[in-house]
C-alpha cells in the first residue's frame, strides 16, 4: 500500500515538472502571417494568433538585403501565454520602404512527458494538443504558399514550372503587343470617323444642325475608342503583372529608381541615360514581393537577351561602369571644343577650368625639353641673340685710312769707280755719276701705324620675329574635381 502511494506521489511530482507554461481554452483556425507597412514612426505591430514562447516568432523586414530580424536586438515581443495575440516592438521604427512580416514557427518537438499512473491534468493535455495544433497550422501555412501537383503524380511527371512561367511571360508580352496594335487601330478609326464628320460638315453646310450632331456622335465614338484602347493596354499590363509578378515602371519611377521590382523599357533607359550616363540613377530598396520571372539583376548585362528585362539597379550599375562621363573624363582629363560653354555646365558633371590659354599641346617625352608633364615653354615672338645669329659677312661701308708717321729715307750713292764717297739725299735733280738709270735701295726708317675711320654697312632691323606654327584656336578645359 505504501509502495503504491509512493509511486502515485512520485508520478504526480514527475508530471508537475513537465507542466508547460501555456495552455489555451482553444486554438482558433486564424493563423496567418501579419504583413503591415512601415511609416517611419510606428514601432509596435500586433498579431492575433497564440504564441507559446518568444523564440517561436519570426519577424522580417521585406527587403532583399535586410531579411529576418533578431529577437532582443532589432525587436522584442510581448504576449500572454493564456490569451491569443501579442505585440512586436521594434527598436527603430521601420520606414515606408519596408513591409513588416510577422509569422510563427513552432519547433517540431514534444516537450511533455506523461508517466504511468500519473495524474492527467486538463491543462497538461490541452497544452499538448495546443502545441500539435499550432505546429499543424504552421505547416499548413507553408504548404499554402507552395506549388502543388495533382495527387498521385510521379516525381518524373512533375511539370517544368520554370518553362511554363517563361511561356506565360512570352504570351503576356505578345498579348500586350496585340493590345497596343488594337489601340493604334482604334485611334486610326477614331481619326477616320472624325475626318468623315468634318467632311460631312464641309459638304453639307445647309444642314448645319444635322452635321453638328453627326460630329458630336463621331467625337463620342472617338472617345469610346480611346477608352477601349486605354483599357486594352491596362489589361495587358495587368495580365503581365498577374502572370509575371512584375509591373512596368512609369518614367518618373524609372528616373527615381526606388525599387528593384518594376521593369523599365528600352525607351525609358534611353531617356534616362541620354548623355552617356551623365544622369545618375539612385539605388532604392525592394518594395513588395520579389519578382520571379525573367528579371535580370546582372549589372554587366552579360545575358544579351531579348526576353529578359534589366532591373533599374542593373541599368544604373551598367551605366556607371561603362558609359558615364566619370569613366570617360576622370579628374585631370582635357576637353577640347569649339564652343565656349564650360563642360561642367554642359554635362552637369565635375569642376572644369580653362586650360592652356595661348598654348599648344605636345606629348610628354621620356627625356629632354618635353619630359615634365604640365611644364610650359616657348614664346609667341622672339628676338635673336648674338649667339643665335648665323655666320655672315658685311660690306666695307665708309671705312678710310688716316695719315700718320711722317719720315725720310737715305740713299747711298756710288761713284764711277764704284767706291763709296758719301751719303746724299735723293732728289729729282741729281744726275751725276752712275746714279742715273741705276736701281738703289733705301734704309728703313720711321716705323708707324694707321687708324681706320667710318663703319661697316648694316643689315637687319633687330626686331622680334613671329615664332608661331600654323594653328587653329579652340577652347580647352581641364577637369579639376
Q: CB–CB of 130/23 below 8 Å?
A: yes
User: In the prediction, which pLDDT does 274 show?
Assistant: 42
The band of 232, judged by pLDDT with boundaries at 50, 70 and 90, is low
Q: How far apart are CA 106 and CA 141, in angstroms?
A: 12
352-354, strands of its sheet edge to edge: 334-337, 475-479, 352-354
277 with 261: CB under 8 angstroms?
A: no
Residue 94 predicted with pLDDT over 90: yes
Mark residue 222 as left, alpha or beta (left: phi above 0; alpha: psi -120 to 50; beta: remaining): alpha
Pairing type for strands 309-310 and 295-296 reads parallel
Q: ∠45-51-54 over CA atoms, to 5°?
A: 75
DSSP symbols for 40-88: SS--EEEE-S--S-GGGEEEEE--TTTEEPPBTTTEEEEEETTEEEEEE
Q: The C-alpha cell of 348 is what?
A: 552637369
Residue 285 has pLDDT above 50, yes or no: no
How far is the CA of 65 from the CAs of 107, 129, 192, 301, in angstroms? 26, 38, 54, 21
Q: Are 183 and 191 in contact (CB under 8 A)?
A: no
Helix axes 161-203, 208-244, angle to 10 degrees: 170
Dihedral sign from CA coordinates of 356, 357, 360, 366: negative
Q: What pLDDT does residue 281 have? A: 39
The mean-pLDDT minimum among 104-113, 165-174, 331-340 falls in 165-174
What DSSP element (H or E) covers 255?
Answer: helix 251-256
Range 88-94 average pLDDT? 95
With residue 295 as reference, give the H or E element that holds it.
Answer: strand 295-296
Q: What is the pLDDT of residue 277?
A: 39
As a whole number of angstroms, the distance between CA 476 and CA 353 comes to 9
d(C-alpha 130, C-alpha 145), whole Å: 23
- Separation of first and last alpha carbons in the chain: 98
Q: What is the rounded distance in angstroms from the CA atom of residue 173 to the CA atom of residue 293?
A: 13
Strands (E), 156-290: none
pLDDT in tens, 16-67: 444 555 666 678 887 899 999 999 999 999 999 998 888 899 998 886 555 7
Model confidence, pTM? 0.33
> Quick count: other Cβ atoms within 10 Å of Cβ 292?
12
For 59, phi and psi rounded to 5 degrees? -125, 130
Burial (CB < 10 A; 0-12, 13-18, 19+), residue 266, is exposed
State the Cα–Cα distance between residues 253 and 273, nearest whole angstrom.
Answer: 14
Place of cell 497596343: 180
**More confident position, 372 or 281:** 372
Which residue from 267, 254, 271, 274 is spatially nearest to 314, judged by alpha carbons? 254
The rounded distance, in Å, linking the Cα atoms of 232 and 224 is 12
pLDDT of 417 over the 50 cut: no
Q: What is the mean pLDDT of the chain?
A: 73
Strands 75-80 and 83-90: antiparallel
Digit-coded pLDDT (tens) for 361-404? 999 899 988 889 889 888 888 888 888 888 887 777 777 777 76
Q: Give the span between the Cα atoms of 312 and 36, in whole angstroms.
A: 25
CA atoms of 239 and 237, how far apart (whole Å): 5
What local confidence, expressed as pLDDT, does residue 185 receive? Answer: 82
pLDDT band at 159 (very low <50, low <70, confident <90, very high): confident
Inter-residue contact 396 to 455 (CB < 8 Å): no
84 φ, ψ to 5°?
Answer: -60, 150
Q: CA torsion, points 196, 199, 203, 206, in degrees to nearest 10?
A: 80
Amino acid at each position: 500500500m505504501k509502495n503504491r502511494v509512493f509511486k502515485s506521489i512520485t508520478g504526480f511530482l514527475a508530471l508537475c515538472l513537465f507542466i508547460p507554461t501555456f495552455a489555451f481554452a482553444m486554438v482558433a483556425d486564424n493563423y496567418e502571417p501579419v504583413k503591415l507597412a512601415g511609416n517611419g514612426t510606428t514601432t509596435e505591430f500586433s498579431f492575433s494568433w497564440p504564441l507559446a514562447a518568444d523564440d517561436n516568432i519570426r519577424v522580417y523586414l521585406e527587403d532583399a538585403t535586410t531579411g529576418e530580424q533578431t529577437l532582443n536586438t532589432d525587436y522584442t515581443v510581448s504576449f500572454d501565454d493564456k490569451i491569443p495575440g501579442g505585440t512586436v516592438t521594434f527598436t527603430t521604427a521601420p520606414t515606408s520602404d519596408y513591409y513588416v512580416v510577422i509569422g510563427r514557427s513552432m519547433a517540431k518537438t514534444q516537450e511533455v512527458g506523461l508517466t504511468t499512473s500519473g495524474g492527467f491534468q486538463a491543462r497538461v493535455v490541452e497544452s499538448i494538443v495546443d502545441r500539435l495544433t499550432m505546429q499543424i497550422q504552421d505547416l499548413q501555412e507553408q504548404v499554402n504558399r507552395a506549388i502543388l501537383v495533382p495527387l498521385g503524380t510521379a516525381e518524373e511527371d512533375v511539370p517544368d514550372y520554370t518553362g511554363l512561367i517563361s511561356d506565360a511571360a512570352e504570351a503576356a508580352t505578345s498579348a500586350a503587343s496585340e493590345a497596343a496594335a488594337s489601340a493604334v487601330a482604334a485611334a486610326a478609326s477614331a481619326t477616320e470617323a472624325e475626318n468623315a464628320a468634318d467632311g460631312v460638315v464641309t459638304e453639307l453646310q445647309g444642314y448645319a444642325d444635322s452635321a453638328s450632331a453627326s460630329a458630336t456622335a463621331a467625337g463620342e465614338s472617338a472617345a469610346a475608342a480611346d477608352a477601349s484602347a486605354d483599357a486594352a493596354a491596362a489589361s495587358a499590363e495587368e495580365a503581365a503583372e498577374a502572370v509575371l509578378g512584375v509591373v512596368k515602371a512609369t518614367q518618373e519611377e524609372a528616373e527615381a529608381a526606388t525599387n528593384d521590382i518594376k521593369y523599365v523599357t528600352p525607351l525609358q533607359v534611353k531617356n534616362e541615360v541620354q548623355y552617356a550616363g551623365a544622369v545618375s540613377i539612385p539605388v532604392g530598396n525592394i518594395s513588395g514581393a520579389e519578382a520571379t520571372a525573367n528579371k535580370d539583376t546582372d549589372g554587366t548585362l552579360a545575358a544579351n537577351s531579348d526576353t529578359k528585362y534589366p532591373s533599374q539597379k542593373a541599368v544604373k550599375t551598367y551605366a556607371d561602369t561603362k558609359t558615364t562621363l566619370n569613366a570617360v573624363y576622370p579628374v585631370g582629363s582635357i576637353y577640347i571644343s569649339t564652343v565656349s560653354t564650360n563642360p561642367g555646365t554642359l554635362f552637369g558633371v565635375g569642376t572644369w577650368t580653362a586650360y592652356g590659354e595661348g598654348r599648344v599641346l605636345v606629348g610628354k617625352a621620356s627625356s629632354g625639353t618635353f619630359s615634365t608633364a604640365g611644364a610650359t615653354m616657348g614664346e609667341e615672338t622672339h628676338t635673336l641673340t648674338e649667339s643665335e645669329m648665323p655666320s655672315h659677312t658685311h660690306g666695307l661701308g665708309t671705312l678710310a685710312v688716316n695719315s700718320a708717321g711722317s719720315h725720310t729715307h737715305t740713299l747711298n750713292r756710288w761713284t764711277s769707280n764704284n767706291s763709296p764717297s758719301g751719303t746724299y739725299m735723293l732728289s729729282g735733280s741729281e744726275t751725276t755719276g752712275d746714279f742715273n738709270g741705276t736701281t738703289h735701295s733705301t734704309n728703313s726708317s720711321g716705323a708707324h701705324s694707321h687708324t681706320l675711320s667710318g663703319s661697316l654697312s648694316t643689315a637687319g632691323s633687330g626686331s622680334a620675329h613671329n615664332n608661331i606654327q600654323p594653328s587653329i584656336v579652340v577652347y580647352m578645359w581641364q577637369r579639376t574635381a
